[in-house]
Amino acid sequence: MKKYYTFQKFPRSRIATFDTFSVGMMKHHISALLEFDVTDSRKKLQELRRNGRKISFNGWIIKVISNVIQQHPEAASYLYGKRKLIIFDGINISIAVEKEINGEKVPIPLVIEKTNEKNAREITLEIESGDELIFAKQ
């Protein structure tokens, strides 16, 4: 049976870091507030579209996030017990896709599996067809 994850141990000295984090979670906090300049990237995407390769901004950004997670897998790992991280081989990214249902716009969750094995165009196609799969199940 193939395993889809690995365990990584970390030193006992790191346990204090997790304790500090647990106390911090009881306080008001902002998980993340980031700002990026994507001007150049949007220009490149527009150039690709002009050349017949349709890649959505969402498809591109999901692939970028996937590449970063693949380079730094600990960033998307889970704490397993007090001394181990569980690191998954595949990278699944969840997004919300806005769709109109009965005249009302609602967010629909969509999980794109194994983004580390797909290119931005494949991810774009999955986003575009994923909503149809969701509605076909209803």
Q: At what angle do helices 120-136 and 57-71 cross, to 10 degrees?
A: 110
Q: At what angle do helices 57-71 and 39-50 cross, to 10 degrees?
A: 120
The residue type found at 7 is F
Closest CA to 108 of 88, 91, 89, 133: 133
Give the mean pLDDT of 34-61.
Answer: 92
Distances (CA, A) of 20 to 15, 95, 128: 9, 30, 42
pLDDT in tens, 29-39: 677 788 989 99
DSSP 95: E
The percentage of residues in the chain with a pLDDT greater than 70, rounded to a whole number, is 82
pLDDT in tens, 65-87: 999 999 998 888 888 877 788 88
Three-state DSSP state, 12:
helix
Say if residues 95 and 62 touch (Cβ distance below 8 Å).
Answer: yes
Average pLDDT, the chain: 83
Higher-scoring residue by pLDDT: 95, 24: 95
Closest CA to 79 of 2, 14, 1, 134: 14
